[in-house]
Amino acid sequence: MDQLPETPPPVEMISPPLFERLGRRGFVGSVGGAAGYTLAAGPVMAQTIVTTPAEGLVAGEVSIPAGDRALPGYRARPATGRDWPVVLVCQEIFGLHEYIKDVCRRLAREGYLAVAPDYYVRQGDAAAAPDVGAAAAIAGRKPDDELFRDLDATLAWAGQDGGSAEKVAIIGFCRGGRNVWAYSAQNPRLKAGVAWYGPVAGQASTLTPRVPLDMAADIKCPILGLYGEADTGIPVDSLRQMETRMREAGKRFTLVIYPGAPHGFHADYRPSYRKEAAEAGWRLMLEFLKGNGVS
């Protein structure tokens, strides 16, 4: 499939017997704290299972001017050419570690300029947090308005690094998936967004005044949602609500739910990794980006 239809129907990746057992409303669970982000994924491992070489790429640490300070970041792109399509990569709550850097290199091998800013740097060093709770506390102190400015600054930096100003997308994992939703309701330049198991419900706050369910009418680009049926922190029911609100608002939302997959199923450095679902989701993501003009 080289291109998705202009108005794609919702996609179900649930086998018929399992769908009948789940019912239309799916599981009932709670969304709160860090549960929807990383707790369901288990402890962090020492290294990634997948390691993408940097040969033939320009890849490494970068510094991104962002208002009051420079953001640490990681960028990977092809070594030749220019005007590469740009993909913003939004990290989990665990900071800018090797897994996120490898995701950037994987995208670069597909012809993208992929850049992951460490936008939690003002709140603390998430990569050095001693446990999930400490990492979640750092992420929880990030205001949305500051996040949007940081992502705007990252896009401006990518343009100066040879990236295309017209072919721009955003992807994110866990809390980064939630940030995909939020930024897609903010920036009209985006051509596509891909939310890997990003929570859509939860409790709003002064720092994050809206949850994705409240943003449907403002979403400015097609969204691909990649979720796990066994994610204990993101109930299928909340995804159905998001699907309904996006449809009612006339927005393009392709929802994919992988049977038996837990939260963090793409994170190959954690026990939550599910190779089949991770690889299928990656292929679909690349098709979605290309189908929406980000190639």
3-state class (DSSP) for residue 264: coil
Residues annotated as catalytic (active site), given as ranges: 174, 231, 263
Q: In what order do the strands lie in the sheet with 69-78?
A: 57-66, 69-78, 113-117, 84-90, 163-173, 192-196, 223-228, 253-258
Whose CA is closest to 252, among 190, 168, 178?
A: 190
- Decide if 185 contacts 171 (C-beta within 8 A): no
Joined tokens for residue 78: 């092809």
H or E segment at 63?
Answer: strand 57-66
DSSP β-bridge partners for residue 61: 74
Three-class DSSP category at 288: helix
Residue pair 161/87 in contact by the 8 Å Cβ criterion: no
Closest listed residue to residue 87, CA positions, set 170, 178, 186: 170
State the residue for tokens 């070594």. Answer: 79
Q: In terms of DSSP H, where are the helices of the chain?
A: 16-22, 98-108, 132-140, 144-160, 175-184, 236-248, 275-291
